[in-house]
Chain A
């Protein structure tokens, strides 16, 4: 069965760029999206259709998807960006989440 995998954790210093990857076989042939989840809260969509940003998400969040890897990039990372991030892919029959990446801002 199809799977998408993420690193369990990523660390970044405030003001630097954080990159979180999501890998899957020919993932670039599917749409990928990303969610941010803070403790005790429901997930929030931050990137959809590979690189589109909902109106409520700051410009520092961006996405790309090519080959076998989708990437969420956070430029000028702020302390408030510390959270769990989940990638998700889908096709006509399946919806798949990655295992999640804990982003630590330190």
Chain B
């Protein structure tokens, strides 16, 4: 059974930093690119970032580019999101998500597994 367990969400002041973690199990972690998706309170889903299976390629939504850094440690089956220069609009539940199919470094980006999310609140 696939499990994705996020952690690290707290209340932080604007301009602060935070590192989210996601512990993965139940699948071959380094076969898959991994993503972060967020959901502001009462709002819809927003894709945030992806990282390739080996960490060599990363992409970000425009609103976080230059402030957030996605990374992974395949030896620990873990995904991370370093969040700097946080803004109030970054307040959201952050989900770690796994694509439904990856093979040979290429993935189909539908998400068949989601964590329970970790809540980041940016407030003064």
**A residues in contact (CB < 8 Å) with B:** 1, 31, 33, 35, 37, 42-45, 48-49, 54, 84, 86, 88, 90, 93-100
Contact = CB atoms under 8 A, between A and B. Distances in A.
Interface of chain A, helix or strand or loop or mixed? strand
Contact of B112 (A37, A45, A94): A45
Interface in B96-124: 100, 108-112, 114-117
A97 B44 contact: yes
Interface of B: 35, 37, 44-47, 50, 59, 62, 95, 100, 108-112, 114-117
B45 A49 contact: no
B117 A98 contact: no
Contacts of A48: 100, 108, 110, 112
Contact of B110 (A31, A96, A98, A99): A31
